Amino acid sequence: MAGLTFLYDGAFKNLPHVYGAYSNAFDWVSVGINLNLNKGCDQRCVYCHVPGLVSRAPQAVNVDEVLQELEAALHSLSSSPLRSKFPALASDGISNVAICGDGEPTLCPNIDEMTVGLSDFLRSSRFDISIGPLVMFTNGHFLRKKRVRRALQGMSRTGSQLWVKIDAVSPERQLKVNGFAHPIGRQVDGIVAASEFVDIQIKSCLVSFGAALDAGEAKRLCDVYRELASRCAGTLSVDLYTINRPSRQNADVRPVSQAQLDEIGSMVRALGINVFVSDCGNYYSPNGT
């Protein structure tokens, strides 16, 4: 089945903030950084695989401890048996180091210190394995906050990427999919401001509640993509996907069809935007099974 295989043993054993993920669909291995050990998030997305989410922000992380965990994992991966299990690890190395875990990472009180520390570490460290860019996966609600702006500035040191979730546009659809209605114009403005520092990829998980995605909502998504493409300073791309596992939040949610994903992908491509279309599910939920 397409999706992710999560790696917690071997190179990642006893590392609370660091985990591995293998993409069955794209044949790459990523290293994830989980800053939300308390499962703090401001959304309740219907497709989320993390149980027991809470509304409060996580505590500040110990940057040195996280970096020590990451260093241990990367050194271990250089000679790990995983290299024979996942040939892409031996041939291509680590696809990326992703700040993404059991909640919204920009809620972390010292996210700025964390990204600066990660950027400096990845620039200065040398391992017997190649390592891709630093990325952060966010819902984009807090991109205008000062600490998050500083975090993005820190990421800009290493050619990093920001992956931003936009699953719905209309307030009604946002409430149904994400459990929270955030003004889409404010989210767009935040993404545009972030593009001064990092390249942007919009991640849209499209789901069904028993019927195909409304054509009007598909058009609204494309209108948002178009606006972002016209306003963002750097590279913009779109990743369209759907769920492939039962949700731990809502038993009624279902994947959209591959045909509809492909149709919306064609609409985005017609806008001149680089788009990836898959059915490999929600990326980077460390508690997923």
Q: For the chain, 289 residues long, give each residue's pLDDT as a single digit of tens.
A: 346 676 666 678 889 999 988 877 677 888 999 999 999 999 999 988 888 889 889 999 999 999 999 998 888 887 767 777 777 777 888 899 999 989 999 999 999 999 999 999 998 887 877 888 999 999 999 999 999 999 999 999 778 999 999 999 999 999 999 999 999 999 999 999 999 999 999 999 999 988 888 999 999 999 999 999 999 999 999 999 998 777 777 668 888 988 999 999 999 999 999 999 986 544 333 333 3
Residue 245's alpha-carbon distances to 253, 254, 271, 276, in angstroms, are 10, 9, 31, 20
| Bridge partners for 26 per DSSP | none
Return d(Cα 151, Cα 20) in angstroms, integer.
Answer: 23
| Cβ-contact 95, 132 below 8 angstroms | yes
| Cβ-contact 256, 281 below 8 angstroms | no
| Cβ-contact 181, 156 below 8 angstroms | no
3-state secondary structure of 140: coil
Residue 38's alpha-carbon distances to 61, 139, 152, 184, 238, in angstroms, are 11, 18, 23, 27, 30
* Sequence-distant (≥ 6) Cβ neighbours of residue 126 within 8 angstroms: none
39: its two tokens: 């499962």
DSSP 217: H
| Cβ-contact 41, 58 below 8 angstroms | no
3-state secondary structure of 176: helix
Return d(Cα 102, Cα 43) in angstroms, integer.
Answer: 12
| Cβ-contact 129, 89 below 8 angstroms | yes
Return d(Cα 253, Cα 100) in angstroms, integer.
Answer: 23
Return d(Cα 261, Cα 263) in angstroms, integer.
Answer: 5
Helices (H), 47-170: 63-78, 82-85, 87-92, 111-124, 146-155
> How confident is the model at residue 36, as a pLDDT?
95
Return d(Cα 70, Cα 84) in angstroms, integer.
Answer: 21
> How confident is the model at residue 118, as a pLDDT?
96
Domains and CATH numbers, the chain: 4-277 (3.20.20.70)
166: its two tokens: 């936009």
